[in-house]
Every structure is written in structure tokens, then in C-alpha cells.
Amino acid sequence: MCGIVGIVGPKRVNQFLYEALTNLQHRGQDAAGIMTADKSHLYLHKSNGLVRDVFDDSDMSRLKGDMGIGHVRYPTAGSASQTESQPFYVNSPYGIGLAHNGNLVNALELKKLVTEKERRHLNTTSDTEILLNIFAHELSKSSKKQLTPEAILKAIKKVHKRCSGGYAVVALIVGHGIVAFRDPNGIRPLVLGKRLTKNGLERMVASESVALDALGFEVERDIKPGEALFIDSDSQVYSQLLDHNESYSPCIFEYVYFARPDSIMDRLSVYKSRLRMGEKLAEKILRERPNHDIDVVIPIPDTSRTAAVQVAHVLGVKYREGFIKNRYIGRTFIMPGQAERKASVKRKLNAIELEFNKKNVLLVDDSIVRGTTSQQIVSMARDAGAANVYFASAAPPVRHPNVYGIDMPAVKELIASNKSTDEVQDFIGADWLIYQDLEDLIEAVLHKSSNIKTFDTSCFSGSYVTEDVTQHYLESLELVRSDSAKVMRDAKILLEENEDKDKDGLAKIIGEL
């Protein structure tokens, strides 16, 4: 999962891009990048790390121009190497930079076409670079005489027809403007906004509305599934839809975990969705355990807090903050590697014994993915003196890989993929465990104000909305996206990037993996 932003305005946009990325930091903590441009020059700075660590005053001063794009990243199939950080750039035609959130299902097929037939060079393993080169190729074909908005929209339409998967894209064409588009199913989110200042009209696109809110932009609308959008240097918007769109199916896991609660995506409030998740979960507890002896409901910070409040309210029991979070530790779900995720739990959370001692505690989390974090947290609750520890997940069991940009693809890493609820309960050490039903989750997120008819629920249901995800594809992803594969790949890159350092030591580490 990643966060993207693009801004066009009458004055320098570097600081606005920085602030927007800071507000999207929850979507990726591995790397950050900003690319800006004026009428004829392009400026780029990107590196591994948090936004605040990647950019200093000197970096920001070099990012000139009144239009730009930005990206925060965490890796899925690609490596965590700095070479994979975004935005990417090609100099022909015109000079194009591109940043992307999501994953292309047909990336291998596209890579072969791009390199062998279209004779374009790829320097990384990132599907974003593939997408950039496809866009550049189509743009060069559609704008042979002059680069017009119509030519740009035509090129994006061709990109839509060639690419399959979940993707939201922002691109910068030097001297012309910002491009934005979203996959035909609307799996990955993208929002358009505007701001009128004394200097003139500014426009912005971002993964979540919270980035626009923080900068005082008015949210105009969500970019539609299959829509091509071009914002010129005067902030004029040109748009076009595909001749026919697929189903409107945003990823439901955005509402469960990834998005900030104060965001509104596809006209759906993340906060209200999570409140209703809590209500549905509590109703299921009352159905299945009407004589429960829960003394207190405690959320596992931060994402589950909204749902846990409603669970406690509907059950009629106390709600307490039993875990204190170290806010300087990142989100453990999106940390690259199981060892680091596991070590971070203890550093991230500390239990308040007063809230656990001799009580029957219901812990509420947004979801259970690998199970190891839940296991550690249950153990912490017992160590703090809990008499019984119950566990409730605001989401259904995660049993299937997500192929549209969320880092949960290796089936063997999903605790519920081959275990029943009772077996997961035993694994995490809870006295009882309850999951949200998928039908209740959909009903909790869906609202009549939206045009959405369904969601991508593939990680729960195994049903993929692009309909081209085969078992062979899933098995191939398992080989490159498991934690062990990532560690091996990044270790090899580290060896290549440190030629003058302790190569024998690094080689020994790789050999032990």
C-alpha cells in the first residue's frame, strides 16, 4: 500500500507536497519522494525513510516549480531498496514522472511487451516503472504533432485497456500539467480537490481526503473508476471515462485498516464505517455469547479504537484504554519483515496493569492477519493480570492473498488460511475468539449515499474482481512476496550496494537466510 499526491498551482508547491505526504504517512513508511517541475526543468528527491527524514531544508529548497507529485511507499513484490522508491522518471516524450499506488496483475506480461516489443529499458523490478513506460509509449503515439489534453486522455485510455489490477496513478508531464487516473474497478482510492487563494486556483489529487483537508483544499469528488484526468498548468481539469467501466469495487480493507478514520473515500466515511463495524461485531457477540462475562472492552491501538467504542456501548460494558502506544514506532502491519514486526510489538505497546488485573477482558482489533501480533498482545494482557482474555476481530478471517497492492499475499503467512476459528483461538492464546461476518462488514461500510454496488473483498472471500487471477499467478506471487523472499532479495541488493564495505559479512548473512 502506498500514498500518492499531485498538486498544480500558481506558486511553488514543494511545501504543500511535503505536508500532504506527512498526512499520508500511514500508507507507507519505507520510502518517500517528491518530484516538481516548472516550465522546462524537473526536480526530484527521494530516498528510504519517513517523510521527515527524507527531506531536509536543502532538499526542499531544490524542489522548485508550481506543479509536482509525491509518494510514500511500502514494498510488496518489489524490494525495499532505494532504487525502488518513487516517483520514477523517463525523459521521452516530454519528460514524465509517475507515482503509483496498487499492483498490476499482468505485470510480467506487460514487462515482456515493454522490453521486447516496444524496446523500452526497465531498471527496477517495480510494476510502477512498467506502468510509466506504457504511459510514455502510448503518449508518444497519441501526441505525434502536438501535446493536447485530448492526446493525453487518449493515451491514458490505452493504458487502462492494457493494464489489469488495482491502481491509482499521478503523473507529471514537464511544462504541461498533472495526470491522474484510477483502475476501471476503482479498487485503489483517489480524490480530487481545489483551493482558491489570492494567487489563483490550485488543484490537488491524493489517495485520501485527509491530505486535502489538512491543506485547506475543498474535496470536489472522487476520481471515478476508469477515469482519465488531466490538470493543466492553469488548474483547468479535463477528464474522460472509459467507454465501459467494470464494477465499482473499492477495496474494503481500506475501511478496515489502511485509511485514516477522518478520511472520506468514495463518499463513504471511514469513521462511520468503523463505528458500524463495532455495532455489528457486538451484535454477533450477543447472539453467540448472550451470557458473556466481559468486564471491560480494550482496543488494540490505533485502528480498532473506533469499533471498540461501539462494541462496548452495545454490550453495555466499560470501555478502557489498556494499552499505551509509543507513537514513534510505525505501523507493524506494514513493516518489511516478520522479525521486525514481531520485535516492534513490545516496543510499540505497553499494558496498564490496573485495567487488566483480575478482569475478564475483551480485546478488539481491526483484523487478524498473520496472528503473531495478536498472540503477543494476548500474552501481554495475561502478564498484566487478566483473568480471561477474549478477542474480537472487526474483520472476517483473512484467508486469501491480496493481489491489488496490500502486503498479505503469501498464503502460508495468513493464520486463518488453513486454520479454523478454534485453531486460531488456540494459536493466539485467547479464551475465546470471534470474527466479524463478511456480510456484516459489507453492510457496515456500504451507505446509500455512495454509488458502490460491491467491494473488493478478495482477502476474505477469495473472489477477485479483475477475474484474471489464476492459481498459477497466486503461486508465483508466493515465491516473490513471502517475508523470506523479501529478506533474501533485500540482502542481495544490500550486498550489491555496499561494494566497498564488509562484503564477506553480508554474504554470510545471505547464506544463513
- Which residues are marked as active site? 2
Phi/psi region, residue 95 (left: phi>0; alpha: psi -120 to 50; beta: rest), is left
CB 397 within 8 A of CB 245: no
3 state DSSP class of 23: helix
Helix spans in 329-417 (H): 338-348, 353-356, 372-383
CB 179 within 8 A of CB 195: no
3 state DSSP class of 433: strand
Give the span between the Cα atoms of 190 and 186, in whole angstroms: 9
What CA dihedral angle connects 188, 191, 192 and 197, to 10 degrees?
-140
Sign of CA dihedral 453, 459, 460, 462: positive
Q: What are the C-alpha distances in Å from 438 to residues 258, 404, 435?
A: 18, 19, 9
* HSE-up (13 A, CA, CB side) for residue 210: 19
CB 227 within 8 A of CB 206: no
The Cα angle at residue 478 between residues 122 and 425, in degrees rounded to 5:
145
- Cell numbers at residue 513, please? 537466510
Q: Report which residue type is found at 76.
A: T
Name the E strands within 311-407. Answer: 318-319, 323-325, 349-351, 360-365, 388-393
CB 218 within 8 A of CB 26: no
Task: Please list the residues that pair with 414 across neighbouring strands.
Answer: none
Give the span between the Cα atoms of 396 and 389, in whole angstroms: 19
Give the span between the Cα atoms of 191 and 51, in whole angstroms: 21
Task: Please list the residues that pair with 238 across neighbouring strands.
Answer: 230
Place of cell 496483475: 105
Would you give the distance in Å from CA 311 to the centre of its chain?
26
Cis peptide before 250 (omega within 30 of 0): no
Nearby residues of 505 by Cβ (< 8 Å), 6 or more positions away: none
Q: Say if residue 209 is exposed, middle or buried (CB neighbours under 10 Å; 0-12, 13-18, 19+).
A: buried
Give the span between the Cα atoms of 428 and 368, in whole angstroms: 10
